[in-house]
Amino acid sequence: MLATAFAVLSPIASMADGEDVVVWKRLDPTSALARHAVQIARPVFEQHGPHIEDYQIVVFQSKSADGTPLAVGVLFRDPDTPIGMRGSSEEYPSYEVQLNADATLVINSYTSE
């Protein structure tokens, strides 16, 4: 998995053994990349039946330590979820759609529990 709700709230660096540092950063929702990512991710999210108007949408991007874009994530989360909470709330399960670096291809999608 590329990220969790915690990772989208502020820039965060993560590293697995032997891997390069990956920095996650929340994108400005009005940026062209964020808007495009939501357009690509929305149909994937809607296939699972939730009402999109019940969710807060957060877009984030991962970059390598040298600044190379790696991936874009679109997180659909309960707007009442406390900051820093990982996973889903009881009322609305969080759902993430992972895209490639330029947000043109869906890589993965899943419910975050």
Say which residues have a Cβ less than 8 Å from residue 19's Cβ, sequence separation at least 6.
none
Cβ atoms of 59 and 74 closer than 8 Å: yes
Its pTM stands at 0.76
- Least confident window among 7-16, 53-62, 85-94, 97-106: 7-16
Domain ranges of the chain: 5-112
What is the C-alpha to C-alpha distance for residues 58 and 96, in angstroms, rounded to an integer? 9
**Continuous segment of H or E residues that includes residue 37:** helix 32-46
Q: Which residue has the tokens 């920095």?
A: 23
Question: CA 91 to CA 4: how far, in whole Å?
Answer: 18
Query: pLDDT of 29-86, one tens digit each?
Result: 999 999 999 999 999 999 886 788 888 899 999 999 889 999 999 999 888 776 666 6
